């Protein structure tokens, strides 16, 4: 078990963590889960503070971090950007309503033990990569760990919870067909962070990974390249398909989820082209996870979703409320994996 590389470290993307380190995080998460279930006290972060800055809404992320810090004996502060001086990059500042990220990061570093940030989409005008740049700017200036609670590129806390859920439900990763599929939603305002982090995690762990989406809904080419390298290194595989049904055939895990078109947002597009994305989405309303598609999977296959999901569009009630759905196990596992991340990095 790798134990000596976590203290003081940022948790921004699983790309920065080795297979061995991810195994350690999953192992510690399981240990903390057992302690939580049996009521065994585990105050590993007594008197420590986590500052959480939420530029976007959240149910699972906020509550799992807050509850997790309480269970670890510390405290999580909820910070709404509009109620502090909104952290902003140099050049985006407005007098007395924003504060430069470098100043916020250095101030909070003097008062607590980690800073967690959620930012994607509207707060950065849907400019792809800008939220990730802000998270990295925090990391550049803070003396304490930065935890990514979802930016526009990555959602590493969700990906770790997804991996723990796969490990628990399927007993391991090798040889398992993991299908990350686009699914239709009436909302085009969906970041790419969840699918990108899911395929990064699954390829790192040596799974047989299939990414399925209609043409025009490609993910970040840098992430695709990283997944190809991950698959080579881990002994797994990585394929891309434009056929949802074909992708589901023989799957052990399906993860159908909507994401926006990278082509139609800056900097790939000169301006936001959400109407174009709406037209593209509307051509693919048949990309729904229903029982007919689930029947193409292996017996015992599981249905995953990070939640919240668009019922009736991304998935039918029959599937998400059915026996193969593990969505609430995934949500629960957010608590346990984030406690592992915090316990190891904030010691």
**CB of residue 243 vs ligand CP: minimum separation in angstroms?**
27
Task: Return the residues of window 155-174 that contact ligand CP according to CB under 6 A.
Answer: 158
Task: Return the residues of window 219-278 that contact ligand CP according to CB under 6 A.
Answer: none
Q: Which is nearer to ligand CP, 48 or 118 (CB)?
A: 118
Q: Which is nearer to ligand CP, 12 or 44 (CB)?
A: 12
Q: Which is nearer to ligand CP, 44 or 183 (CB)?
A: 183
Query: What 3-state class would DSSP assign to 76?
Result: strand
Of 4-12, 58-66, 96-104, 275-283, the segment contacting ligand CP by CB under 6 A is 58-66
User: Counting runs of H as helices and runs of E as strands, what totals does the chain give?
Assistant: 12, 11
Q: Are 309 and 289 in contact (CB under 8 A)?
A: no
Q: Which of 127, 240, 262, 307 binds ligand CP (CB under 6 A)?
A: 307
* Residue 59 contacts ligand CP per CB under 6 A: yes
Q: Are 241 and 247 in contact (CB under 8 A)?
A: yes
How many CA atoms lie less than 13 Å away from 3 in the CB half-sphere?
3
Q: Which is nearer to ligand CP, 60 or 113 (CB)?
A: 60
Q: Are 113 and 9 in contact (CB under 8 A)?
A: no
* Residue 151 contacts ligand CP per CB under 6 A: no
Spatial distance between the Cα atoms of 85 and 83, rounded to a whole number of angstroms: 7
Q: How many CB atoms lie within 10 A of CB 222?
A: 12
**CB of residue 134 vs ligand CP: minimum separation in angstroms?**
18
**CB of residue 118 vs ligand CP: minimum separation in angstroms?**
7
Number of residues that bind ligand CP (CB under 6 A): 8
Spatial distance between the Cα atoms of 306 and 301, rounded to a whole number of angstroms: 17
**CB of residue 337 vs ligand CP: minimum separation in angstroms?**
12
Spatial distance between the Cα atoms of 267 and 194, rounded to a whole number of angstroms: 20
* Residue 328 contacts ligand CP per CB under 6 A: no
**CB of residue 62 vs ligand CP: minimum separation in angstroms?**
6
Spatial distance between the Cα atoms of 109 and 37, rounded to a whole number of angstroms: 33
> Given the structure tokens 């806390």, which residue do they identify?
157
Q: Are 205 and 227 in contact (CB under 8 A)?
A: no
**CB of residue 160 vs ligand CP: minimum separation in angstroms?**
12
**CB of residue 64 vs ligand CP: minimum separation in angstroms?**
8
Spatial distance between the Cα atoms of 79 and 250, rounded to a whole number of angstroms: 45
Spatial distance between the Cα atoms of 221 and 223, rounded to a whole number of angstroms: 5
* Residue 61 contacts ligand CP per CB under 6 A: yes
Asked if omega into 186 is within 30° of 0 (cis), the reply is no
Q: Which long-range contacts (CB under 8 A, 24 or more apart) does 87-94 make?
A: 87/53, 87/134, 87/138, 89/133, 89/134, 89/137
Q: Which of 33, 48, 60, 324 binds ligand CP (CB under 6 A)?
A: 60
Q: Which is nearer to ligand CP, 44 or 160 (CB)?
A: 160
Q: Which is nearer to ligand CP, 205 or 306 (CB)?
A: 306
Q: Which of 306, 315, 337, 342 binds ligand CP (CB under 6 A)?
A: 306
Q: Which of 58, 102, 241, 269 binds ligand CP (CB under 6 A)?
A: 58
Q: Residue numbers of the site for ligand CP (CB under 6 A)?
A: 58-61, 150, 158, 306-307
């Amino acid at each position: 078990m790798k134990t000596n590389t976590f203290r003081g470290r940022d948790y921004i993307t699983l790309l920065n963590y080795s297979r061995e380190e991810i195994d350690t995080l999953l192992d510690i998460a399981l240990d903390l889960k057992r302690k939580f279930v049996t009521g065994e006290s585990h105050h590993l972060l007594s008197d420590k503070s986590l500052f959480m800055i939420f530029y976007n809404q959240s149910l699972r992320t906020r509550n799992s971090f807050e509850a997790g810090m309480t269970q670890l004996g510390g405290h999580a502060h909820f910070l709404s950007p509009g109620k502090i001086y909104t952290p902003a990059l140099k050049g985006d500042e407005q007098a007395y309503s924003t504060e430069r990220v470098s100043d916020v990061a250095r101030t909070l570093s003097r008062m607590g033990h980690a800073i967690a940030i959620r930012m994607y989409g509207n707060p950065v005008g849907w400019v792809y990569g800008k939220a990730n740049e802000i998270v990295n700017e925090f990391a550049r200036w803070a003396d304490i760990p930065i935890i990514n609670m979802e930016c526009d590129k990555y959602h590493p806390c969700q990906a770790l919870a997804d991996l723990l859920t796969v490990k628990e439900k399927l007993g391991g990763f090798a040889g398992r067909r993991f299908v990350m599929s686009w699914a239709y939603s009436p909302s085009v305002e969906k970041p790419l962070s969840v699918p990108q982090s899911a395929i990064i995690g699954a390829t790192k762990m040596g799974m047989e990974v299939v990414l399925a989406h209609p043409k025009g809904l490609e993910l970040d080419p840098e992430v695709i390249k990283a997944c190809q390298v991950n698959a080579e290194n881990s002994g797994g595989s990585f394929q891309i398909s434009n056929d949802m049904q074909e992708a589901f055939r023989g799957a052990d895990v399906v993860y159908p989820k909507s994401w926006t078109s990278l082509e139609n947002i800056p900097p790939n597009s000169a301006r936001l082209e959400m109407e174009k994305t709406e037209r593209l989405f509307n051509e693919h309303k048949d990309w729904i996870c229903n029982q007919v598609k689930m029947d193409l999977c292996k017996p015992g296959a599981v249905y995953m979703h990070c939640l919240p999901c668009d019922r009736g569009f991304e998935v039918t009630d029959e599937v998400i409320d059915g026996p193969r759905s593990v969505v609430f196990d995934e949500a629960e596992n957010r608590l346990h994996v984030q406690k592992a991340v915090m316990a190891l990095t904030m010691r």
